[in-house]
Structure 1
Amino acid sequence: MKRRVNVIGVGMTKFAKPGASPEYYEMAKEAGTKALADAGIAYKDVQQAYVGYVYGDSTCGQRAVYELGLTGIPVVNVNNNCSTGSTALWLARQAIESGAAECVLALGFEKMEKGALGNKFDDREPPMGRHAQVMIDVQGISAAPPAAQMFGGAGREYRFQHGTKKETFGKISEKARDHASRNPYALFGQKLSLAEIMASEEVFDPLTRFQCCPPTCGAGAAILCSDEFARKHGISKPVYIAAQAMTTDFASSFDERSMIKMVGYDMTREAARQVYEASGIGPGDVKVVELHDCFTANELLTYEGLGLCPEGGAEKFIWDGDNTYGGKVVTNPSGGLLSKGHPLGATGLAQCTELVWQLRGTADARQVQGANIALQHNLGLGGACVVTMYRRD
């Protein structure tokens, strides 16, 4: 039988703009130290570490972990684009579940540069070449940042299919800023009106500037352990992972000439299906969700991919307020990537941190009342999608 995997410690830094953060290993030390203190254990109790980052040299994971201690444990470096942090979590969960370890650290960090993401190597085929070719074939290419063209194109495809108003996408960003105003860890804590969001310059139809996540620096960490380890350390009723799944691209990402499929809709839908089936929990049981809102268009698509609303029902879901406090499910109480920030390697572990706080009832002004089940969605183009279900009994 598979062993239950508990999340007994979490921690993160306050996210910052590029150029305003400490060194990556200093951010990692802060997040890791907080997670260890939260768990009430010492670093010597950790048997393995999985460390995620996108922009950094090989063995940056070791350099970061060495700030916590020099105990000779295995350190695995992880890079899976924007889903890197959740991939580190996925690997750590497997180590505990299989019996390979009793206590594992998942750590993620990123020190980003200003401006849009770009390729670091110009002497080889980029890993997203096939994705870019779909975009070129469907809508051509423009001077806008490539990620904005991809997710904006998916939003435009959805808009044309369903007659969705441009303001519907802006409404998501308004909600994100409102939630972030309650989060001391968020990069952007200032509320914005829908009018202000729609008036910001257009990046790629239907996206305006305030509907695109910013480059961000930060770190997040989680300590995972077995039931036996938790009991030995006097930890009762921990948050645990009820189910988790990772998917990569299907043929539909490339063969159906759909921008929606190319940016990972089918990855999301299948990962969610696996998690619901494995956990015996449906989307209607979920109280709080942290999902990958790199652009407002992706949050809208993800509502449907996760089954939070029916296909074609996202606009009603948004305008009815079913995605926020007082509605059906609170999405991104942290402010999400749009407002909390998106340091690629740290994002998945920051999502985990927020949801553990929510399930413990310690999220302060952001607390979702009655939250005992939480869902996490982290997507990386190229591609990988990780969906995780958390519970606290």
Structure 2
Amino acid sequence: MPQKVYVIGVGMTKFTKPNPDRDYPEMGKEAVDAALADAGVQYDTIQQAVCGYVYGESTCGQRVLYQVGMTGIPIFNVNNNGATGGTALFLAKQLVEAGSDVVLALGFEKMAPGPLTLSAYEDRAHPGDKHGAKLAELAGLTTAPVAAQCFGNAGLEYMKKYGATKDHVAKIAAKNHRHGAKNPRAQIAKPYTVEEVMKSKEIFGPLTKLSCCSNSDGAGAVVLMSEKAVTQKGLQKKAVEIIGMEMATDTPEVFTGDSVMSLAGYDMTTLAAKRLYKKTGISPKDVNVVELHDCFATNEMISYEGLQFCEVGKAGKFIDDGDNTYGGRVVVNPSGGLIGKGNALGATGLAQCAELVWQLRGEAGDRQVPNARIALQHNLGLGGAVVVTLYRKGFQNVSSKL
């Protein structure tokens, strides 16, 4: 059996608006230093490292980590759009399961203001060209940002099928801004009411400016250890177990079907979640706290269902009943999520991990979810990839059971 994997150290920078005065090597080093300090280990204990970023040249991971130490270890660089950070974590976990004892996962991003740029190249096929063509076929294209059109149309599809409204979308965004206002590392950190969300600039469909995430600069890092390493170093009190991870990509129905929800990643999310619950024996009812990929509030709405936190078509009721926040069924995005905290693409998945580790350790301050024991992370990238992760509080011996 593969060895158990634990998160021992986490670190992240404050997410900020794109800043020309701060470069990715500085942000990446800050996150790594924080994660190493949290774990109580030195860089020379790291045996392998996986680095994630979207906008950058080759070997940016080496450029960051060489500042911390040049120990000759393998350093891998990955890019999976919005799921980049989760992908780095997924690969780092596999390295520990395969025999490494201490592995670092790092994500960072230096972004540009305004809508996401589609590509740095104009002389070759864009990897999302088939997704774009399918979106145009199903819903047409306007001058609005393409990502907003994709997730906005996914929301409209859900609303038409099940009767959800713009008010539900705005309630999600207001919740995440409210949560983010308590997070000192969040980019926006300002509460907005449902009315303020709805009155902000219209972007596309049910989406307004305040129900869309912002581009961010930032970095996050995580130190993973095997059960043996945790025991040898006496770090059981800091340990948070990764119960399981599942990664999924698009299925043929994305291009053969007639659903923008599928195009926006709903099918991937559903597939990964079903696999994860089955393999781990954990039920969605066991989950106390969630970091969900709310790049747009409509994606959070449709993902409630994909992650099985509500029945099919019941997201509106789930929102109205307050089951997505403190005092409800499960607390979703206590960090503020991508809408409140910001979205530094390569760092987002690692920032989600950091928040959940703080929650399970009881270190989240004003954001603390009472009695948090099981956490779920959902990290999605168009084009496409999704990583869904389950965490459990504390150190578990091999023979331990939930």
TM-score (norm 1): 0.99
How far did 1:208 drift?
A: 0.7
- Residue 102 (structure 1) aligns with: 101
2:11–2:354: 8 Å Cα contact kept in structure 1? yes
How far did 1:392 drift?
A: 1.5
1:311 aligns with 2:312: yes
How far did 1:231 drift?
A: 1.0
- Whichever residue aligns with residue 304 of structure 1, its letter is E
1:385 aligns with 2:391: no
How far did 1:290 drift?
A: 0.2
Superposed CA deviations along residues 284-329 of structure 1, whole A, max 9, x for unmatched, are 0000000100000000011000000011000000011000000000
Matches within 5 A, 1:333-344: 333-344=334-345
1:172 aligns with 2:172: yes
- Residue 374 (structure 1) aligns with: 375
SS at match of 1:70: coil
1:46–1:104: 8 Å Cα contact kept in structure 2? yes
- Whichever residue aligns with residue 105 of structure 1, its letter is L
1:52–1:346: 8 Å Cα contact kept in structure 2? yes
1:129 aligns with 2:129: yes
1:128–1:382: 8 Å Cα contact kept in structure 2? yes
Distance in 1, Cα, partners of 2:387 & 2:275? 11
- Residue 111 (structure 1) aligns with: 110
How far did 1:255 drift?
A: 1.1
- Residue 397 (structure 2) aligns with: none
1:21–1:218: 8 Å Cα contact kept in structure 2? no
Distance in 1, Cα, partners of 2:162 & 2:67? 51
2:164–2:315: 8 Å Cα contact kept in structure 1? no
How far did 1:242 drift?
A: 0.3
Matches within 5 A, 1:151-166: 151-166=151-166
1:21–1:111: 8 Å Cα contact kept in structure 2? no
1:86–1:386: 8 Å Cα contact kept in structure 2? yes
How far did 1:21 drift?
A: 5.8
SS at match of 2:309: coil
1:222 aligns with 2:203: no
SS at match of 1:377: strand
Distance in 2, Cα, partners of 1:392 & 1:192? 32
1:12 aligns with 2:24: no
- Whichever residue aligns with residue 264 of structure 1, its letter is G
SS at match of 1:2: coil
Superposed CA deviations along residues 184-242 of structure 1, whole A, max 9, x for unmatched, are 00001111011111001110001011111001000000000101111111111410100
Distance in 2, Cα, partners of 1:337 & 1:331? 12
SS at match of 2:57: coil
Matches within 5 A, 1:134-283: 134-237=134-237, 238-283=239-284
Give 5+ residue unaligned stretches, structure 1: none
- Whichever residue aligns with residue 354 of structure 1, its letter is E
User: C-alpha root-mean-square deviation of aligned residues, in Å?
Assistant: 0.8
2:186–2:335: 8 Å Cα contact kept in structure 1? yes
Runs of 4 or more, structure 1, over 4 Å off, are none
Distance in 2, Cα, partners of 1:151 & 1:31? 30
Give 5+ residue unaligned stretches, structure 2: 395-402
- Whichever residue aligns with residue 279 of structure 1, its letter is T
How far did 1:42 drift?
A: 0.4
1:15–1:218: 8 Å Cα contact kept in structure 2? yes
Superposed CA deviations along residues 231-282 of structure 1, whole A, max 9, x for unmatched, are 1111114101001010000011111121001111110001011111111101
How far did 1:133 drift?
A: 1.1
How far did 1:336 drift?
A: 0.1
Distance in 2, Cα, partners of 1:247 & 1:139? 25
Distance in 1, Cα, partners of 2:44 & 2:187? 33
SS at match of 2:236: coil
Distance in 2, Cα, partners of 1:163 & 1:73? 53
Distance in 2, Cα, partners of 1:319 & 1:188? 24
How far did 1:128 drift?
A: 0.6
Distance in 2, Cα, partners of 1:386 & 1:132? 22
- Residue 346 (structure 1) aligns with: 347
